[in-house]
């Protein structure tokens, strides 16, 4: 029998990760069956040997590089709880900036009768968050990974959000519409994506827990822009006149992406800052967003 207070202290010392106190508390809550609030409010509460052993097993998994979200099987995003697993990237706060940018752009549109599309949807967090904010908006989402889409569909079911998911290599399902049941000449009011944007050579330098996430969702090719370049090239074929393209990428890539957009016929880009105040999202349309 050990107290919650003692177990949390042991967990923080053992982990040595960026946020050991938070991780230790979350893992102890999972091992004990208690809520996070109970963990923080009842420091002298004692846990039995079975709960303690489970906790130390979880700590060991975390210490070896498995991220806390995978261990818990869930992650909060946009105030909603999503299921996550090794088939998908763990949703991060920076990606909430993508949702914020899309919302800001949609609110400037005179009507929302046309659908929107979320490419590289992964666990579906962006598409589902947008559907949650605009219940009457028709939202499509695609990903090349069927395993990721299984996770996304589960999240949509759990959160009662009617998003239409398709397995597709970017726009493939839309130009092969006859086999997919999608209407011919599909056009979108807005297309967004948190596509892979890490240069291949940089992946080995990422934290171990990030390296353990699916490579297909991280690897953006030699310069990190391989997938983004394809999206920019094809997006005008599927955007309604004046429709917007909204992309997440590394702040260091924004200038190059803006140039690619301009060359493809998009107007001057607009940027949105992440929590660190850096340009994380770039948006442009075939007409001015404003």
Contacts of 150 (CB under 8 A, 6+ apart): 87
Supply the pLDDT for residue 288.
45
State percent of the chain over pLDDT 90.
88
CATH classification at residue 139: 3.40.50.150
CATH classification at residue 34: 1.10.8
Q: What is the mean pLDDT of the chain?
A: 94
For residue range 204-222, what is the model confidence (pLDDT) as tens digits?
999 999 999 999 999 999 9
Supply the pLDDT for residue 289.
42
Mean pLDDT of the 258-274 span: 96
Question: What residues make up the domain containing 60?
Answer: 2-64
Supply the pLDDT for residue 34.
96
For residues 92 and 210, membership in a common domain is answered with yes
For residues 107 and 58, membership in a common domain is answered with no
Where is the domain boundary, 16, 36, 64? 64
Domain membership flag for residue 20? yes
For residues 92 and 14, membership in a common domain is answered with no
User: How many domains, in total, are found in the chain?
Assistant: 2
Domain membership flag for residue 70? no
Contact 88, 149 (CB under 8 A): no
Mean pLDDT of the 118-142 span: 97
The 10 Å Cβ neighbour count of residue 145 is: 18
Domain membership flag for residue 261? yes
Mean pLDDT of the 217-243 span: 96
How far, in Å, CA of 152 to CA of 128, rounded? 9
Mean pLDDT of the 243-252 span: 97
């Amino acid at each position: 029998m050990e107290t919650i207070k003692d177990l949390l202290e042991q967990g923080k010392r053992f982990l040595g990760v960026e946020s050991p106190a938070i991780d230790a508390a979350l893992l102890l809550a999972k091992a004990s069956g208690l809520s996070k609030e109970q963990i923080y409010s009842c420091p002298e509460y004692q846990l039995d040997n079975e709960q303690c052993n489970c906790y130390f097993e979880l700590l060991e998994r975390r210490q070896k590089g498995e991220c806390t979200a995978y261990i818990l099987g869930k992650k909060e995003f946009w105030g909603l709880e999503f299921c996550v697993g090794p088939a998908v990237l763990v949703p991060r706060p920076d990606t909430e900036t993508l949702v914020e940018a899309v919302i800001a752009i949609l609110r400037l549109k005179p009507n929302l009768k046309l659908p929107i599309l979320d490419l590289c949807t992964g666990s579906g967090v962006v598409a589902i968050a947008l559907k949650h904010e605009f219940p009457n908006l028709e939202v499509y989402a695609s990903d090349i990974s069927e395993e990721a889409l299984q996770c996304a569909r589960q999240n949509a079911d759990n959160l009662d959000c009617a998003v239409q998911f398709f397995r597709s290599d970017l726009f493939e399902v839309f130009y092969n519409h006859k086999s997919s049941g999608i209407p011919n000449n599909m056009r979108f009011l807005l297309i967004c994506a948190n596509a892979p944007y890490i240069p291949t050579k940089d992946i080995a330098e990422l934290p171990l827990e990030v390296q353990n996430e699916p490579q297909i969702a991280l690897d953006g090719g030699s310069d990190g822009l391989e997938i983004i370049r394809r999206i920019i090239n094809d997006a005008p074929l599927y955007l309604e006149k004046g429709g917007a393209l909204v992309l997440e990428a590394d702040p260091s890539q924004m200038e190059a992406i803006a140039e690619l957009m301009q060359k493809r016929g998009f107007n001057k880009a607009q940027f949105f800052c992440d929590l660190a105040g850096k340009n994380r999202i770039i948006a442009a349309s075939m007409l001015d967003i404003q």
